[in-house]
Amino acid sequence: MTKSYNHNILHFFWGICVLLFPVRSVFANAYPQATKGVLDLSKWDWQEDGITDLSGEWEWYWNGLYTPETFYTRIPPITSYISVPGVWNSNVAGSEWKKGHGYCTYRLKIILPAKKQLLAIKVLTASTAMEMYVDGHKVGEEGQVGRSFAEMAPEFSPFEATFMPTGDTLEILVPVSNFHYRKGGLWNVIKLGPAKDIQHLRVQNLTLDYFVVGSFLLIGLYHLFLYIFLRRNPSPLYFFILCNLLSIRILTTGEYGINVWADISWNTLIHFEFLSLYLSPLVFVLYSRYLFPKEISRMVTRWVVLIGFVFAGLTLLFPPDIFSYGVRPFQVYIFLIAVYGATVYFKAWKNQRVGSTYFLFGFVILFLMIVNDVLYTSFIIQTGHFFYIGLVVFVFSQALALSRQYSIAFSDLEHANVQLETGNLQLKEKNKMVESTNEQLQKLNAEMDGVVYRVSHDLRSPIASVLGLIDLMRKDKSTEENQLPHYIDLQEKTLRRMDLLIQDIIDYARNNNTDLQLEEVNFLKLIEDILTDLSHLEEAIKIEKIIEVNQTGVFCSDTKRLNMIFSNLISNAIRYHKLNQSAPFIKIRGNITSEKAIIEIIDNGQGISSEHLEKIFDRFYRANHATKGSGLGLYIVKEAVEKLNGVIAIESEINQGTTFKITLPNLSEKR
């Protein structure tokens, strides 16, 4: 899916390139070329062929600012023929530093098609002031031409002029002067064509410029807000600065769209143009450094920053006729940065960094546009300035790549948040478990304290009794041999009480400290085995045992705990039966299914007063202090029943008997 997504995006950018970049050969010029000051357009069809460039050899009059009147009275000697677009530096002798300074006049004769129509001429800029005359009429100017630095006033303000030719030929006269820049001359293409086409071209160019600038500013603002709200990585901030620098560059070149809504002096304009040029690579490298820190050298970054500030400093400290000489070495510098940047992005792509495919694609397009502009400004090819087109593709690819990086980062963050929330929930659950365990431990400690105290007290009582009997036997000299069995019986009863207490303690510890051991339970056999084990108890033989157990399904539970529960309840029923009851009985009634077991233990013994029923299951509680129990038995029964997720209920009436009802769930699912 990712590869398909990447391919679709790349196809989209190729579409942008095709739409924005007017493809034409850079080696074969389709327009007619002027030869020795004459441009033959006699076979040019304005309707079919449209706008043409006034390129080729123009007449060139050095050190002369001529008007049409000059050529009416006399024709000055031609210095030479010079290529337009181009600069005069190579045609002027003298110091290299001053070859761009001077003044001259360009002249071109155009042979028009037979069909007459309203025409317009379009001029971008000249270096650095000019006037234009068409058939003797002044149609436009940029700045003020002059024969010295003091006389002239530079200006970059593209214009169009509309006129109706009156004859078969057209004469164009262009005085130009420059004392403010390193290069002088008609360095931009002058276009001629139908008036509506020229006007449309101007609107089209400005619309494209404003669209690109608006897009850059919106994208830049988005990344600025992204940086303000996140502040994790400065790359969005550098991208915002880069978008603004590129916007300034677009508005201060080409159609100079900034002139439409701002009155800026030429000196300020040229400073903005150069500063945006010198600072853009610096910001671009810083931006890339934070995107791919492992691919970009820290040392290279420092050198780029240093060089960028040096060029920017020269621009601020010196006038344009000096700092403009830095353009040629800076072009070499940009080329080196471009090569290094391509290497960096290729490494990032090879290392599968997030968004590196988009970065590499956008940078390759930008690199090609930079090469085009360098060759074009050096008058090696005749294409045009397409640097901003490369910027469009580059900026959109960077924005897409940054969005891709942040979407992945946000996705990872959301995943981390989910994991964190899950961890917090687990931690809360564990905390609850710890708190519950602590509460249980505190409860157990409290119980243990009570048990230790009570057990120590209860154990000392039978031990003291046995010791007392032994001491009595030793002191009683009149003790007959036939009285020994009596003393032995008393000791036996005392020791049995001790054994009962110890058994209760063992049951108590076993219930609290052992886990459930689940197995299939045969309730009938379990009850029968318990009755057999308790048959030795005093008076047990006198009590009728009735067993009514009906088990219809497999039932799983903890047999040892069930044994503990039923043994305790049945033994209590035997111990506390009524001595004078005519027909004492214990009935064990059970109904066991695959879902639950309901067991009732019924006796017709002494019964328990209602005032004791609420506390009968409390630890160490005894309804009658004259009884021989420890007070742990029923407490252990209730705890064991609850361990098995069951409930126990009691119904009792004095002299009528007691019924214990136990309801237990089938624990086969936990087995």
Q: What is the pLDDT of residue 405?
A: 66
Distance of CA 36 to the CA centre of its chain: 65
Give the C-alpha distances (Å, rounded to integers) separating 38 from 41, 42, 71. Answer: 10, 12, 16
CATH classification code of 515-670: 3.30.565.10
Cis status of the peptide bond prior to 663, with omega within 30 of 0: no
Structure confidence by residue, pLDDT tens digits, 289-337 = 888 888 888 999 999 999 999 999 999 999 998 999 998 899 889 888 8
Range(s) within the chain of domains with CATH label 3.30.565.10: 515-670
H-assigned helices in 252-317: 258-261, 266-291, 298-317
Instruction: Give the C-alpha separation, 627 to 604, whole Å.
Output: 18
Q: Give the per-residue pLDDT at 15.
A: 47
Compute the distance between CA of residue 272 and CA of residue 639 in angstroms, rounded to an integer: 88
The residue behind tokens 């564990």 is: 430
| DSSP annotation string for 37-82 | TEEE-TT--HHHH--EE--EEEEEEET----HHHHHH--PPP-EEE
Q: Residues for the chain: how many in total? A: 671
pLDDT at position 500 is 55
The neighbouring-strand residues paired with 556 are 520
Residue range 499-512: average pLDDT? 58
Query: Looking at residue 236, what is its pLDDT?
Result: 85
pLDDT digits (tens, 9 = 90+) for 379-413: 677 677 677 678 778 777 877 776 776 677 667 77
Q: 152-161, 203-212, 341-350: which has the highest mean pLDDT?
A: 152-161
- Please give the pLDDT value at position 412: 72
Is CATH 3.40.50.2300 the classification given to domain 38-196?
A: no
**Cα dist from 316 to 271, 286, 319, 590, whole Å:** 7, 22, 8, 104
Which ranges in 125-183 belong to alpha helices (H)?
Answer: none
What's the rounded Cα separation, in Å, for the pair 168 and 245? Answer: 47
Give which of 579, 596, 592, 584 is closest to 667, Cα–Cα: 596
Mean pLDDT, the chain, whole residue set: 83
DSSP SS3 for 613: helix
Share of the chain above pLDDT 70, in %: 80
Angle at 626 between CA 622 and CA 632, to 5 degrees: 30
Which residues pair with residue 103 across a beta bridge? 177
Q: Can you tell me the distance from the alpha carbon of 76 to that of 71, in angstroms, rounded to the nearest whole number?
A: 7
CA distance 543 to 535: 10
Nearest-5° Cα angle at 350, 348 to 354 = 50
Can you give the pLDDT at residue 19? 43
Q: Residue 521, Cα to own-chain centre: how many angstroms?
A: 58
pLDDT of residue 416: 79
Q: What is the pTM (predicted TM-score) of this model?
A: 0.60
Q: Are strands 102-111 and 169-178 parallel, antiparallel or unpaired?
A: antiparallel
Model pLDDT, residue 494: 59
What secondary structure, in 3-state letters, does 174-192 show?
EEEEECCCCCCECCCCCEE
Predicted pLDDT of residue 315: 94
- CB-CB neighbours of 260 under 10 Å: 11
Which residue has 């067993």 as its token pair? 547
Torsion angle of the four alpha carbons 18, 21, 27, 31, in this order, in degrees rounded to the nearest 10: 110
| Tens of pLDDT, residues 49-105 | 999 999 999 999 999 999 999 998 888 999 999 999 999 999 998 777 789 999 999
Q: CA distances (Å), 84 to each of 88, 157, 199, 379, 617, in order? A: 10, 19, 22, 10, 114
626-631 mean pLDDT: 56
- Residue ranges matching CATH 2.60.120.260 in the chain: 38-196
SS3 36: coil
- Read off the pLDDT of residues 145-191 as tens digits, 9 standing for 90 and up: 999 999 999 999 999 999 999 999 999 999 999 999 999 999 999 99
Q: What is the mean pLDDT of residues 186-202?
A: 95
More confident residue, 481 or 134: 134
